Amino acid sequence: MGYGLDKQIHNIYDPRPATQEELENYHDHDYIEFLSRVTPQKQDEMRSMIEAFNCVEDCPIFADLYDFCKMYAGASLAGARKLCAGTTDIAINWSGGLHHAKRGEASGFCYVNDIVLAILEMLRYFPRVLYIDIDIHHGDGVEMAFYHSNRVMTVSFHKYTGDFFPGTGKLDDNGTGLGKNFCLNVPLLDGIDDDMYLTIFKAVIGDTVNAFRPSAIVLQCGADSLGCDRLGAFNLSIAGHGECVDFVRRFGVPLLVLGGGGYTIKNVSRCWAYETSVLVGVKVPNELPATVYDSFFEDSEWKLHPPLTGKVDNQNSPASLQRIQIAIKTKLRYLQGAPSVQMQEIPPDLQGLMASENRTAEEKDEERGTGQAGERRNPGRSATRNEYYDGDGDNDQDDVGSSISARARGKGARGRGRGRGRGKGKTVTSAATVNTDDDETSTDDSTPAPPTRRGRGRGRGRGARGGRARGRGGAPASTAASDKGKEASAEAEGGDGASMEVDE
- Which secondary structure element, helix H or strand E, spans residue 5, and what is its range? helix 5-8
Closest CB to Zn ion among residues 136, 383: 136
Only segment of 151-159, 260-268, 342-350, 357-365 that touches Zn ion (CB under 5 A): 260-268
Only segment of 115-123, 255-263, 271-279, 400-408 that touches Zn ion (CB under 5 A): 255-263
Are 110 and 428 within 8 A, CB to CB? no
**CA separation (Å) from 33 to 49, 118, 465?**
11, 20, 18
Whether 100 sits among the annotated catalytic residues: the reply is yes
Residue nearest to Zn ion (CB): 261
**Hey, which residues does 178 pair with through a beta bridge?**
none
Closest CB to Zn ion among residues 87, 220: 220
The length of the chain in residues reads 504
Binding residue for Zn ion, selected from 133, 224, 366, 504, defined by CB under 5 A:
224
- Which secondary structure element, helix H or strand E, spans residue 186, and what is its range? strand 183-188
Angle at 150 between CA 146 and CA 153, to 5 degrees: 65
| Contacts (CB under 5 A) with Zn ion, residues 108-137 | 135, 137
Closest CB to Zn ion among residues 242, 450: 242
Smallest gap, in angstroms, from Cβ of residue 338 to Zn ion? 31
Closest C-alpha to 90, from 489, 450, 417: 489
Angle at 198 between CA 192 and CA 201, to 5 degrees: 100
What is the arrangement of strands in the sheet containing 152-159, beginning at the earlier edge strand? 90-93, 255-258, 216-220, 129-133, 152-159, 183-188
CA distance 62 to 443: 49
Binding residue for Zn ion, selected from 222, 254, 374, 461, defined by CB under 5 A:
222
Catalytic residue (choose from 10, 27, 99, 100): 100
97 binds Zn ion (CB under 5 A): no
Closest C-alpha to 137, from 111, 179, 107: 107
Smallest gap, in angstroms, from Cβ of residue 260 to Zn ion? 6
Residue 119 Cα to chain centre, angstroms: 8
Only segment of 172-180, 213-221, 254-262, 296-304 that touches Zn ion (CB under 5 A): 254-262
Smallest gap, in angstroms, from Cβ of residue 101 to Zn ion? 13
Only segment of 224-232, 337-345, 359-367, 403-411 that touches Zn ion (CB under 5 A): 224-232
Only segment of 3-11, 223-231, 351-359, 430-438 that touches Zn ion (CB under 5 A): 223-231
Closest C-alpha to 107, from 75, 162, 60, 70: 60
Smallest gap, in angstroms, from Cβ of residue 89 to Zn ion? 27
Q: How many residues bind Zn ion (CB under 5 A)?
A: 5
Binding residue for Zn ion, selected from 261, 415, 450, 473, defined by CB under 5 A:
261
**How many C-beta neighbours within 10 Å does residue 430 have?**
13
139 binds Zn ion (CB under 5 A): no
Are 503 and 389 within 8 A, CB to CB? yes
Smallest gap, in angstroms, from Cβ of residue 232 to Zn ion? 7
Interaction pattern, residues 174-193, with Zn ion; x per rule: CB under 5 A: --------------------
Closest CB to Zn ion among residues 17, 232: 232
241 binds Zn ion (CB under 5 A): no
Smallest gap, in angstroms, from Cβ of residue 165 to Zn ion? 8
451 binds Zn ion (CB under 5 A): no
Are 309 and 229 within 8 A, CB to CB? no
CA distance 102 to 54: 10
Closest CB to Zn ion among residues 240, 261: 261
Smallest gap, in angstroms, from Cβ of residue 142 to Zn ion? 13
C-alpha dihedral, 332 to 337 to 339 to 340, nearest 10°: -20
Q: Which residues bind Zn ion (CB under 5 A)?
A: 135, 137, 222, 224, 261
So which residues are the catalytic ones? Answer: 100
